Structure 1
């Protein structure tokens, strides 16, 4: 494995946290996330990384704000202002569950595939889990139609209970058949939501 974190660091530290300049202190995290246009400069980010002991930093771009690309950032994720917390939840792989194994090392590998990424999400509600998965997967694939040539893709799945293997196979086959880049790096995570009769799919993909 190219990157490793010692076990104590993984056990004691959340995968991802959102930091703000107004914080009195910076709790520890493996992935330090911040909103780019919140007056962060290179010195402030260096201080954030040092005090939070973050392994790497990820900026969130919530508008068309023109910013200077700094080497201290591992990558930038574009999202809507009301999607910030969802991005953090997806990156918080420590809260992932079921049989799909993913960790912060995988997230680091994802961001090594590019410098600019896009976040999208789709969801559906209903009584039939099978129908929910089919509808949501179809809607996600529609949104991913412009990302056929992406170098990297991260899919987060949220359901009220652990997904069966058949459901995961259905989603992965639909997503992977869309991509024209056979060398694309694809990562999956699965987690449980307390929202009844719902299914959510979220994606972060590298922009060309």
Structure 2
């Protein structure tokens, strides 16, 4: 385990937070996310990590520019500007269902799989729920099939109500069936949404 988290911090501070530069005060979190194009430099990130008492720094890349790779940053997640909040929400596993039993240590261990990650999300609407899950799962698996040498993946499931175990199993079996031949670390979480007749799958995977 490359990153060792003080167990006492798990209940004391938030799991993840998104920070912007030039703030006088940084509230603490275990995982500090920042948008790379905001103009952070290494010194500013060192100060962020110290002031936020963060265990790891995760950069969100919302454009196609080339940036200098900084050793202090444990992972970079590529996503669209309108997906930033979705990425942060996915990493916030404390809001997830306890049925799956994922915690912040699992999220941190995901970033041991690589340095560059891709965010993806698919959704389906309508009814019945079983059809929504099948449609969204097929979309996700189709996207993952285009990736090369996936080393690790974190999949979040979001439904209008608590997801039954058999529905979770359908998603996990499809993802693991695709990646069964690889030594891939796979993690899952689940939470609910206020949107009726709706099912979404979010994923962060190491390229």
Q: State the TM-score, normalized to the length of structure 2.
A: 0.95
Deviation at 1:148, TM superposition (A): 5.4
Q: Paired residues, what number?
A: 206
Q: Where does 1:113-192 land on structure 2 (aligned, <5 Å)?
A: 113-147=113-147, 149-179=149-179, 181-192=181-192
Give the Cα–Cα distance (whole angstroms) in 1 for the partners of residues 5 and 38 of structure 2.
31
Give the Cα–Cα distance (whole angstroms) in 2 for the partners of residues 181 and 86 of structure 1.
29
5+ residue gaps, structure 2, are none
Deviation at 1:173, TM superposition (A): 0.9
Runs of 4+ in 1 over 6 A off after TM superposition: none
Q: How large is the Cα RMSD of the aligned pairs? A: 1.4
Partner of 1:5: 6
Contact 1:16-1:88 at 8 Å conserved across structures: yes
Give per-residue Cα distances to partners, 1:162-190, cap 9 Å, x unaligned.
21111111101111111254311000011
* Pair 1:32 & 2:32 matched: yes
SS of aligned partner of 1:147? coil
Contact 1:98-1:191 at 8 Å conserved across structures: no
Q: State the TM-score, normalized to the length of structure 1.
A: 0.94
Give the Cα–Cα distance (whole angstroms) in 2 for the partners of residues 181 and 206 of structure 1.
16
Deviation at 1:118, TM superposition (A): 0.3
Contact 1:156-1:203 at 8 Å conserved across structures: yes
